[in-house]
Chains A and B, each alone.
Chain A
Amino acid sequence: MLATPEVALALFIGSIGGVIIGAIPGVGAAVAIAILLPATFALPPIVGLTMLLGIYGSSMYGGSLPAILINTPGTPVNALTTYDGHPMTQRGEALRALGLAYGASFIGGILSILALILLSPVLARVAPMFGSREIFLAALLGIVLVIIAHRGQTFAAGSLAAFGILLGTVGLEPVKYTQRFTYGFEFLTSGIDLIVVVTGVFALSQAFVLLVEPDQAPERQRVEGNMFKALLGVFGFKRIAVAGSGFGTLMGIIPGVGEFTAQFLTYTYAQKTSKTPELFGKGNPEGLVASESANNAVPAAAMIPLLALGIPGEALTAMMLSVFYVHNVVPGPGLFRDNMDFIYALYTSMILLNVIVVIFVCLASNWLMRIIRIPTRFLGMTILLLSFIGIYSLRNSITDCAIGAGFGLLGLVLKRQNLPIVPVILGMVLGGIMEVKLRAAMARVKSPLDFVDRPIAAIIAAAIVLLIAGHIWGLIRERRAALPEAAHDHDIHDSHTR
């Protein structure tokens, strides 16, 4: 399946393109995937998915380059990399820092794919045990997690997730054929397309953000020395890299959590077990390895709930779900039973992309630093014009473009307010899944307890209750040790891509 020129080309374009996109501050994988999504509909599923996976899996490699050299993360998940990466550059250890970042990313990427491969037989057995009620509960778990994972922004995340669920219901519903929230507008009868929303809130909004803000152009930095040798330095931090890969894989599997939590857990672990914890944040290589191994382990792991249950855990896999649907490939229990070739082809392409990327970044770091020096407003202009393709090519609709522009404005406000965008997308996707699965499940349920009378359903339901209770308990405990408002009433993190 993989040994075709189309797949090889897609893999090459996706992985190299992903590194470049990741290295340019202000673009990021979400913007690129949103723009490219409709272009991949015309391609065979394995080709389209390989290209998008290439971008998804390689952008974080690229994002570490400006994070380390110029203290500007290429993608938001590289923000933690600046803490220790840039101080190393200031000490004259740029080559070592980049080598460690690439090496850690490679280990994270490869180990998470190996975990995926080893888990496949288990998934193939467990996935068929997921009936309607289990999938409903898993989707509900995803919604709960995406809300409570945004600590400090729980209300906004909840409101946005609910808005996403509502967006998914707009239009003619397919069971009773009644119209919902169309306000008499014919163009709303067919609903609001996920891709229009995705391109609006990720790509167009980013264009607007860049266009209204003052111009910036990264300064130039050069790296001298043998990058391949520097990359091997990561084997001096095997324990941290393996821990980061483990946390990344685990957090990737759980819907709605993702890179930030994985990085936080790994960084905390690395600091607690370090002989020099006081150097974290001041150029400790362990901190750098923790950050990069954890974030790069997430993309492969995030494919697990998508492939096994058809449930995307975050925005990028939600976008990929639409590629599956367009090609009538329905991810879920049946995929592992009937289409193992396809699954293994995906795994192999993910391994190959990590190899291609690591070779590319080792050879081309200086060249990459030259091409990322695009001024931000010029970059905004290019994203604005490219977003047109992402929306208009869907069905040549000017109305879609106007709706997309509306969501672009919403995305701009959310980004400037540092409010999360991902709950809208996950609400839209998971809301649709919940509606269908709950309706099917309730046909066979007589009392509420029947809903959780199967082991997996009971486990997921218990997890949901425990998570909500744990979250509230955590807030109460924090309240007891409360700081004055001025001490916490500000941004501590960037939530743009979670």
Chain B
Amino acid sequence: MRRIQTLQDLFRRYRRPGDFVIAALSFGFALFLAASLPFQVDWVDRTGLFAQPAFWPAVSIALMVLFSAMHLIGALVSERIPGRLAEVVQWVKALEYVAWFIAYVLAVPILGYLPATLLFAIVLTLRLGYRGWRWIGAAALFAVVVVVLFRGLLQVKIPAGALYDLLPPGALRSLFMSYL
């Protein structure tokens, strides 16, 4: 243990609560990748080592195992910093916003870019605790500006919403289909 402590002293590290969790996760992930290596890459006959498709994945995984093992050893022999669980809870809390993002991504091809952006900007603003017409107006203005700038002016590739097909044929429908 003393030798490991010396190693830890040799490689000074700057840590925050949750360092052990990230070290353990990255080491576990590196081991999983190492175990997958024989099944996820091919060894091609009559081909030099450096031209093998497996060469770079093998090098990178070997480095991942080495570095993450050192990170984990360092975390194991370091003093525990209080607040590990609270930190992990913060990571998990972010999953809610991942869900919001994915819901928005799924809504755009159905509702259309403008309606989906308006809806999510306003609902998210309310979810975050901003109340009153000032905030709702700011969220709506933001949504309109983003859509007009990116889809209307810069013509970024975002397909028209399925809902737009329900609009009566004419100028308004064309406008929505092409620019909003």
Contacts and interface: CB of A to CB of B under 8 A. Distances in A.
Interface in B61-105: 61, 63-64, 66-68, 70-71, 74, 78-79, 87, 90-91, 93-95, 97-98, 100-102, 104-105
B14 interface: yes
Contacts of B53: 173, 175-176, 178, 180
Most B CB contacts (10 A, CB to CB) among A156, A375, A398 go to A156
Interface in A373-411: 375, 377-378, 380-382, 384-389, 392-393, 396, 398, 401-402, 405, 408-409
A207 interface: yes
A74 B122 CA distance: 26
Contacts of B30: 159
B159 interface: yes
Contact of B60 (A155, A401, A431): A431
Q: Is the interface of B mostly helix, strand, loop or mixed?
A: helix
B158 A162 contact: no
Given A162-B63, A173-B53, A402-B102, A39 B154 contact: yes
Given A156-B22, A163-B64, A489-B13, 7 more contacts: A178-B53, A211-B97, A377-B130, A378-B125, A396-B157, A413-B91, A485-B79
Contacts of B101: 204, 207, 384, 387-388, 401, 405, 408
Interface in A274-307: none
Nearest to B61: A166
Given A162-B61, A212-B94, A486-B79, A416 B87 contact: yes
Contacts of A162: 60-61, 63-64, 67
B87 to A, nearest CB: 7
A91 interface: no
B165 to A, nearest CB: 17
Contact of B12 (A38, A158, A478): A478
- Leading 9 A-B pairs by shortest Cβ distance: A162-B63, A158-B67, A159-B67, A155-B71, A165-B60, A166-B60, A178-B42, A401-B105, A208-B94
B133 to A, nearest CB: 15
A16 B70 CA distance: 45
A427 to B, nearest CB: 8
A389 B156 CA distance: 8
B14 A42 contact: no
Nearest to A386: B146
Interface of A is mostly: helix
Contacts of A431: 56, 60
A378 B104 contact: no
Nearest to A492: B14
Contacts of A207: 97, 101
Nearest to A490: B14
B51 interface: yes
Interface string B153-164: 011111100000
B104 A388 contact: yes
B129 to A, nearest CB: 8
Interface residues of A, number: 80
Nearest to A147: B67
5 contacts: A159-B68, A165-B56, A416-B18, A416-B91, A488-B12
Nearest to A208: B94
Interface residues of B, number: 79
Interface stretch (A60-68, A121-129, A434-442): A434-442
B24 interface: no
A291 B9 CA distance: 31
A272 interface: no
Given A417-B16, A417-B19, A417-B22, A176 B10 contact: no
A176 B11 contact: no
Contacts of A173: 53
A384 to B, nearest CB: 6
A367 interface: no
Interface in B2-36: 6, 8-16, 18-19, 22, 26, 30, 33, 36
B128 interface: yes
A393 B16 contact: no
A429 to B, nearest CB: 13
A155 B70 contact: yes
Interface string A146-180: 00000111111011011101101100010110111
Contacts of B79: 485-486, 489
A262 B143 CA distance: 40
Contact of B40 (A158, A181, A375): A181
Given A169-B57, A378-B130, A382-B142, A42 B105 contact: no
Interface in B119-144: 120-121, 124-125, 128-130, 135, 138-139, 142-143
B98 A208 contact: yes
A270 to B, nearest CB: 25
Nearest to B157: A393
Given A385-B117, A388-B104, A412-B91, A211 B159 contact: no
A158 B12 CA distance: 15
A475 B106 CA distance: 50
